[in-house]
Amino acid sequence: MRILFIGDIVGKSGRDIVSSLLYSLKKQYQVDLVIANGENSAHGKGITHKIYRKFIEEGIDYITMGNHTYSKGEIVDHLSEMDRLVVPYNHVKRTTDNFYKIVECKGIRFCLTNILGKVLIGEASLDPFESFQVVLNETKDLHPDFYFVDLHAETTAEKRLFLEYFHHYTGAVIGTHTHVQTADEAIIHDCAFLTDAGMCGTYDSIIGRDINETIECVIHQECTSYTIAQGAAIFCGVIIDFDEETKRPVHIERIQIRP
């Protein structure tokens, strides 16, 4: 089973590059399943029902989220219809039960989950370690072959610590949120690991945000409105292969396509 995991899709330029590359990448890499982080897809913060539907139509199988899950309030009215959306179990707002999905593909049955880090995301998240332990307890009767975790967190150490603590249960721990792809992909303790998958969004930007607007806001402390950068986009993702006999990860490979 080959999974393509796509890093945070940021704004329109991120959506557009995914639209333009997804079909050919699926063909080139013979992908069985696509998971993408969509928490920044609606103008950098959140997702809308319309964007969700377009992602599914274009060939994304499951969409994970993060600290901006509820930034576009309208999704609360549609969550029951968004059955391929997986939101963080430990977000402080718990207005849905789309916390995990059992995914079956090529004889493998895994549990897709989304967990927020705590460090520098403090106000949005409950303790990630306690929360994932609750997920394990709640899902143990579903008997997944492994857990695939989109670990949406800011710091590198917290992500590695999560892997070290939970590797007996996980088959993949893939980081998101920083929008900068790290080069540490590896199979560690029989688990596919990458600190951060990176982003799909405007290359000349501050992690997807307009550079001048960010300077005005952060350095000059002007009251600006959050602006997504426009221009050519980078595509970031990662391919993970699982052996269908052993149901364990055997290969991990980053994809980074710069403009």
Name the residues that contact Fe ion, by CB under 5 A: 66-67, 177
Nearer to Fe ion, 177 or 209 (CB): 177
* Stated length of the chain: 259
Is residue 250 helix, strand or coil? strand
Residue type, 66: G
Our CB check for Fe ion shows the closer of 12 and 177 to be 177
Give the HSE-up count for residue 107: Cα atoms under 13 Å, Cβ half-sphere: 7
Cβ–Cβ under 8 Å, residues 64 and 94: no
Is-catalytic flag, 68? yes
Q: Minimal distance in Å, beta carbon 151 to Fe ion?
A: 11
CB of 78 to Fe ion, least distance (A): 20
Would you call 58 helix, strand, or coil by DSSP?
helix
Nearest approach, Cβ of 189 to Fe ion (angstroms)? 26
State how far the Cα of 92 lies from the Cα of 88, in Å rounded to an integer.
9
Residues 6+ apart with CB under 8 A from 50: none
* Residue 44: CB minimum distance to Fe ion, A: 10
Cβ proximity to Fe ion: between 25 and 115 the closer is 115
Measure the CA–CA gap between 101 and 63, rounded to whole angstroms.
11
Q: How many CB atoms lie under 10 A from the CB of residue 77?
A: 9
CB of residue 39 vs Fe ion: minimum separation in angstroms?
Answer: 5
Nearer to Fe ion, 67 or 205 (CB): 67
Query: Of 25 and 199, which CB lies nearer to Fe ion in the complex structure?
Result: 199
Q: Of 49, 68, 91, 179, which residue is the catalytic one?
A: 68
3-state class (DSSP) for residue 50: helix
Which ranges in the chain belong to alpha helices (H)? 11-29, 49-58, 128-139, 156-166, 211-214
Active-site positions? 68
